[in-house]
Amino acid sequence: KSGFVAIVGRPNVGKSTFLNRVIGQKIAIMSNTAQTTRNKIQGIYTTDDAQIVFIDTPGVHKPKTQLGDYMVKSALSALNEVDAVLFMINAAEKRGAGDNFIIDRLKGIKAPVYLVINKIDQIQPDDLLTVMDQYKQALPWKAVYPISALEGNNVNEFLGDLVDQMPNGP
């Protein structure tokens, strides 16, 4: 199995924490050392039988920046070139403009989009249902995963499912 996965989400939802946990000691490329025109490689998760390249897509999660047409189109085409997109939210915060900005840009992309509800260690089980309610109609999610990137809850289960969904390859 091998594939490319983009992680999007507004600042501070836990994208870097998630990647650090997933890639751990196996970090091959850090965020600032490799850059392509459109995508920043954040790290490569490698096991004996799988490889997932996690990428950042500039222009998708900077709602406070005035984005040129070109940036937005570039980011969108990058999202169409990956095998899956992870949209990460903070379970402890209400859905806001920053989340909606990204959701709008994920509408109509070809890749399956996973809703990753992070920081579940900070909420009560009832609150998780409320969060899910806020998002369930937003996009046709491939799947929804509540996780704690910090404490590790459900991360390995999610990763296992994600690997299964990657195309067969070297």
Strand ranges, E, within the chain: 2-8, 40-46, 51-56, 84-90, 113-118, 143-146
| Region binding Mg ion by CB under 5 A among candidate stretches 14-22, 64-72, 74-82, 124-132 | 14-22
Binding track, positions 106-145, relative to ligand GDP; x by CB under 6 A: ------------xx-xx-----------------------
Pairing of strands 2-8, 84-90: parallel
Rounded Cα distance between 165 and 136, Å, is: 21
Count of residues interacting with ligand GDP (CB under 6 A): 15
Q: Could you tell which of Mg ion, ligand GDP, none binds residue 58, using a CB distance below 5 to 8 A set by kind?
A: none
Using the rule CB under 6 A, which residue among 3, 5, 9, 105 binds ligand GDP?
Answer: 9
Distances (CA, A) of 62 to 30, 102, 125, 131, 161: 20, 9, 30, 22, 29
CB of 91 to ligand GDP, least distance (A): 8
Check residue 2 for interaction with Mg ion (CB under 5 A). no
Using the rule CB under 6 A, which residue among 2, 16, 31, 165 binds ligand GDP?
Answer: 16
Q: Which is nearer to ligand GDP, 151 or 161 (CB)?
A: 151
Using the rule CB under 6 A, which residue among 15, 42, 52, 139 binds ligand GDP?
Answer: 15
Q: Which is nearer to Mg ion, 15 or 119 (CB)?
A: 15
Distances (CA, A) of 131 to 58, 109, 160: 26, 23, 24
Q: Which residue has the tokens 């459900």?
A: 154
Contact 22, 54 (CB under 8 A): yes
Residue type, 148: S
Check residue 39 for interaction with ligand GDP (CB under 6 A). no
Residues in binding site: 9-16, 56-60, 118-121
Binding site for Mg ion (CB under 5 A): 15-16
